[in-house]
Amino acid sequence: MHIEDQNMALDFDRAHIWHPYTSATHPLPTQLVESANGVRLCLADGRELIDGMASWWCAIHGYNHPRLNEAAKAQIDKMSHVMFGGITHQPAIDLCRRLIDITPARLQHVFLADSGSISVEVAMKMAVQYWQAKAKPSKVKMLSLRGGYHGDTFAAMSVCDPDTGMHHLFNNAVIKQLFTERPQCRFNDEFDQASTDDLERMLTKHHHEIAAITLEPIVQGAGGMWFYHPEYLTRVRELCDRFNVLLIADEIATGFGRTGKLFACEWANIEPDILCLGKALTGGYMTLAATLASAEVANGISANGGVFMHGPTFMGNPLACAVANASIDVLFENDWHKNVSRIETKLEKELQNAKALSSVEDVRVLGAIGVIEMKKAIDTVAAQAFFVKRGVWVRPFGKLLYIMPPYSISSEELSMVCLAMIEFAQEQTA
């Protein structure tokens, strides 16, 4: 693309296109991407960036993957979309069978949705409708962990942290939910038995009005990239059973191997009543999500002629389902666990040097997630310019400098990203 065309495109973008989490009138600078291949974003000016973000954690196989391309091309010649009401098709049947096979055994019913936020909304509606069918209409509240993030739509916002989260502007508009203290026991530390005391107090006081506990297993993502102890999940499951409350596990960010287990719930060997999936489900090719429910939840809602009251227009999109099936095939054929373990080892080795820097508060690694927490908020504009100059794509938020790269990233490419992160942290120390 000629430089004049690039400038015209960027000028229009800056004047008219509203990007996520930014101002319409004073937007953050954008990079004009012309194509992407492997783990590299190819800019219109000819530069290449190693993508450390996997396009917000979803492009786990990298870009322009031949198997996923082939699946999309084969499906689009048959049908790109049909309504899912009264109609079904093989890509959806195959995908739902696969999801039931690889997720916890109690999850036997799959509801296909549009996006991660919608899958959370669906899960919340399932929980409320379940208790309505059980003649307990007062159980409509959600109990969530502080520090959590579950999406940007209104019901999903209501279960995000109301104080430190990004949605505090809407506190007076969203449904008022209940919150318990974030687990302070770190993933690799000894479990603190007192970490669930506040949760138990909340359940003791409010269980009669709580439909479900909603949480991100093991890793709180956009709410702070916090990794907590698996035993906390074990205790949550026990308390849910004791107080007759459903457990919703939001694995939109953690699902499909990101933490070193196929699903983060496996770290505690627990099974949720409802499971939310998204992001990596299609390998980052297009939007698709799934909400899986136990037979008990599904049968409860459906008792006495009950129907679940939700139906997205693009539910079960055949094109997305076909690509999701191919993505799951590639995940297992490429030995995802070996790749994630390799990335984890590399991150632990190369990010540890940041611990000694005076500008750094903490360094933590789990699976294919690497985090450098700074002591001060990061200037996003300056940070993006810094990383682009060094040929990598890293987008920090708040005080967090983090990466969640594609599993296909080479060790050499990962080293380049880590080195840039260390250099940025060093520059903040100077």
pLDDT of residue 397: 93
**CA dist list (Å): 291 to 184, 250, 310, 333:** 28, 9, 12, 25
Q: 249-281 pLDDT, tens per residue? A: 999 999 999 999 999 999 999 999 999 999 999
Q: What pLDDT, on the 0 to 100 scale, is given for residue 166? A: 67
pLDDT digits (tens, 9 = 90+) for 171-211: 888 999 999 999 999 999 999 999 999 999 999 999 999 99
Mean pLDDT to the nearest integer, 81-104: 98
Decide if pLDDT at 143 tops 90: yes
List of residues 6+ apart from 381 with CB closer than 8 A: 28, 29
Q: Choose, from 63, 130, 149, 228, the residue flagged as catalytic.
A: 149
Task: For the beta carbon of residue 228, count every other beta carbon within 10 angstroms.
Answer: 24
- State the pLDDT at residue 168: 73
pLDDT band at 101 (very low <50, low <70, confident <90, very high): very high
C-alpha to C-alpha distance for 219 and 259, rounded to whole angstroms: 8
> Considering the entire predicted model, what is its pTM?
0.97
Burial per residue of 187-197, b for 16 or more beta-carbon CB atoms within 10 angstroms, e otherwise: beeebeeebbe
- What integer is the mean pLDDT of 74-100? 98
CATH superfamily of 31-61+335-429: Aspartate Aminotransferase, domain 1 (3.90.1150.10)
In angstroms, the CA 406 to CA 368 distance is: 8
Cα distances from 129 to residues 117, 261, 302, 405, in angstroms, run 18, 31, 10, 38
Q: What is the pLDDT of residues 291-334, one digit of tens each?
A: 999 999 999 999 989 999 999 999 999 999 999 999 999 999 99
Residue 217 burial by CB count (10 A; 0-12/13-18/19+): exposed, middle or buried?
buried
Interior CA angle at 351 toward 345 and 353, to 5°? 125
Phi, psi (degrees; rounded to nearest 5) at 345:
-60, -40
Our answer to whether residue 228 is catalytic in this structure is: no
pLDDT per residue as tens digits for the range 385-423 = 999 999 999 999 999 999 999 999 999 999 999 999 999
pLDDT for the residue 430: 62
Catalytic residue among 250, 273, 285, 407: 250
d(CA 50, CA 205): 50
- Residue 324 CB contacts under 8 Å (≥ 6 apart), including other chains: 95, 281, 282, 283, 288
Structure tokens at 292: 């899986």
Which phi and psi (to 5°) does residue 217 adopt? -65, 130
- Looking at residue 228, the DSSP 8-state letter turns out to be B
Q: What is the mean pLDDT of residues 286-292?
A: 98
Q: Where in the chain is the domain with CATH 3.40.640.10?
A: 69-333
149 is catalytic: yes
Q: Which sign, positive or negative, has the C-alpha torsion 212, 217, 218, 222?
A: negative
27-81: per-residue pLDDT in tens?
999 999 999 999 999 999 999 999 999 999 999 999 999 999 999 999 999 999 9
Q: Which of 139, 261, 279, 346 is catalytic?
A: 279
The pLDDT of residue 167: 67
Residues of the chain with CATH 3.90.1150.10: 31-61+335-429
Tell me the fold of 69-333: Aspartate Aminotransferase; domain 2 (3.40.640)
**pLDDT value at position 1?**
79
Residue 285 CA: distances (Å) to CA of 20, 69, 71, 323, 395 = 19, 9, 11, 7, 20
Distance between start and end Cα atoms, the chain:
38
**What are the tens digits of pLDDT across the range 355-387?**
999 999 999 999 999 999 999 999 999 999 999
Q: What are the tens digits of pLDDT across the range 106-131?
A: 999 999 999 999 999 999 999 999 99
